[in-house]
Amino acid sequence: MSTYFFPNIKRATKYDKKADESYHPYKYYLTQISTDCQNRCVYCDVMLGEIGHEGFHLDHFRPQKTFPELIDNPSNLVIACAKCNRWKSSHWPIDAAQKVSHNGLYGFIEPFETNRTQYFQVELNGELSHLKGPSQYMINLLHLNRPSRVLVRRNRLLSCKIDDLLNAAGELVVHARDLFVQGQSFEKAFEILDLAKNTIDQIQLLRGELNKT
């Protein structure tokens, strides 16, 4: 399940610069930063396809107001959905002189340097819960458990279960077919087909849940 949420992301090894070796205006890097972030909000983890491909915003991880020297530096840029970007705004509760992004309770998890699954737990109902560090601060400030995001995570979990069951049903059918072809126990083959049918029934139930909003 962990691969379905907050994947490990890596920055490009090199970003384009102008002829004088200075950075372009930060909006120039939208496509490259989107790729770095795997086209998902680094805060709520929503994917581009889950918001109708409406697009993301470039967010200055360390806010422009506090760190004006980093305005155009692409290594300070991340991708955020519109609401996460707005709620984060210029918040930075850590002394700018410190080189950390949080103090263990307040601040922000650096998404490119941290395994975020160690900070957030995705519950079966789609809600995020606090594990350690400033995750509770982020959940509260960025409204990471707003209904739309809880629904997205819940549906992603359901889709994961459906995929697993589809694979299991396919393996059962193949097993039953092999027994028939080899002329082995037909009774056993029918038992396996019954299991496959039960698995398909479970899939239908989950698909019904997936359609609920």
Say yes or no to pLDDT of 1 above 80: no
Lowest mean pLDDT among 1-15, 142-156, 157-171, 198-212: 198-212
Instruction: Let me know: does 91 contact 100? Beta carbons within 8 Å.
Output: no
Coil vs helix vs strand at 4: helix
Q: 47 with 107, same domain?
A: yes
Instruction: Let me know: does 128 contact 122? Beta carbons within 8 Å.
Output: yes
Cβ-based burial of 43 (10 A; exposed 0-12, middle 13-18, buried ≥19):
buried
Q: 96 with 46, same domain?
A: yes
Q: What is the pLDDT of residue 151?
A: 94
Per the structure, the complete domain to which residue 86 belongs is given by 2-145
Instruction: Let me know: does 41 contact 5? Beta carbons within 8 Å.
Output: no
Mean pLDDT of 131-153: 97
Q: What is the pLDDT of residue 3?
A: 63
Q: 28 with 127, same domain?
A: yes
Coil vs helix vs strand at 111: coil
Say yes or no to pLDDT of 92 above 70: yes
CA 72/CA 56 separation, integer angstroms: 18
Could you tell me the pLDDT band of residue 213, with boundaries at 50, 70 and 90? low
Q: 53 with 108, same domain?
A: yes
Question: CA separation (Å) from 98 to 49, 60, 69?
Answer: 37, 17, 15
